[in-house]
Amino acid sequence: MMPRSAFWAPITASRFLSLQDVGGDDDFFSSDLNREEMEDKLGHIGKVGEEYGLNVLVAFSGDDEYVPEFVDKEQLVDKMCFAMNSQCSSSSVKVARPFMIPTGNHNLSKGEGDAERFVEAVGEMLSNLPKQSLPAEQ
């Protein structure tokens, strides 16, 4: 385990490196990834989403306490969506779409109405999913 002073929650050294190391196993959303690196990590999402008729709501909190102040959060969420959509069959296909919550903190517990706006956006996305028949129970 890492010392408590190293991270805000109990964490193993391996998990800490996965999150904090550039190119770490869990380094999917870092602002320091260039476009190509982000496309390598996230491009499959659009391809799979398009194949199965699914969409991704890339929700990002504008006041997330775990994202450094210097990070342009709107630019980052747009870069993430661009990367996710990079392997779609054409540039007109958009599987991933951004959803910024300007006053939202990491868990949407502070800004008035933030959690409700998020739930509403998820509900809207789910209601637009294609109706597919479920496999018969065995």
Specify whether the CB–CB gap between 98 and 81 falls below 8 A. yes
pLDDT recorded at residue 138: 57
Contacts of range 38-43, beta carbons closer than 8 Å, 24 or more positions apart: 38/79, 38/80, 38/83, 39/82, 39/83, 39/86, 39/87, 41/83, 42/80, 42/83, 42/84, 42/86, 43/83, 43/84, 43/86, 43/87
Q: Contact at 8 Å (CB) between 104 and 111?
A: yes
Residue with tokens 């260039």: 34
Find, among 76, 77, 94, 72, the residue nearest to 85 by Cα: 94
Q: Quick one: pLDDT at residue 16?
A: 87
pTM of the model: 0.82
10 Å Cβ neighbour count for 91? 8
Amino acid at 7: F
What is the phi-psi region of residue 51: left when phi exceeds 0, alpha when psi lies from -120 to 50, beta otherwise? alpha
- Report the distance separating Cα 77 and Cα 90, nearest Å: 20
d(CA 42, CA 86): 9
User: Average pLDDT of each block of 10 consecutive residues along the chain (138 residues)?
Assistant: 84 88 83 92 94 93 92 96 96 94 96 96 88 60
Give the pLDDT score at 108. 97
